[in-house]
Amino acid sequence: MNDFMEMVVTPDDPSLATPFATEMLRQMRAVDSYGTWDNAGDHEILDPFVMTKERKREVPVIGDPDELVLARVKAWYNALSASIEAETGLMAVPMVNLTHEGFGRAIIAVGRLIVVDRNLRDVHRFGFKSLDAMCEEATKIVAKAVALIEEHRDVAKL
């Protein structure tokens, strides 16, 4: 479940109650085809998304992402897409293209409009300083995407 020894997200973390954390949980549970996280608490599922300074030290500077890290990256962009879709009523589609070394690109398209475009590097170190920081980052990205869609709604509807 958790790649790290000590949990940093607690069951009473207020960020767990945010709409984005709820969507992240939905996405992570969706990719759990073997039921690995069926008995896990929400905090245990989202804990690997937190990359504290101590945790970063444990991860080598150069390395290839494993399947769990790739699943987290895809869940992040799926959750962003679902959040954008919920706010705009238009289908948002994430596309993540990564090399085996953890470099690549992620975009989210709404119609023919690209609303999120991120270059990815060092994906094996993917994470956020805290669960709160993850939710704040998502809120910013979704707000920018929604503003772009509203500004170019005709392209987003194509």
Tens of pLDDT along the chain (158 residues) come to 455 568 888 888 889 999 999 999 999 998 888 888 888 888 989 998 998 887 877 777 777 788 888 889 999 999 999 999 999 999 999 999 998 888 999 999 999 999 999 999 888 888 899 999 999 999 999 999 999 999 999 999 88
**How far, CA to CA in Å, does 81 sit from each of 51, 62, 107, 122?**
22, 29, 10, 22
46-77: per-residue pLDDT in tens?
998 998 887 877 777 777 788 888 889 999 99
Question: For the purposes of burial, counting CB atoms within 10 Å of the CB of 60, is it exposed (0-12), middle (13-18) or buried (19 or more)?
Answer: exposed
Which domains occur in the chain, in start order? 14-156 (1.10.3100.20)
Cα separation, 5 vs 2, in Å, equals 7
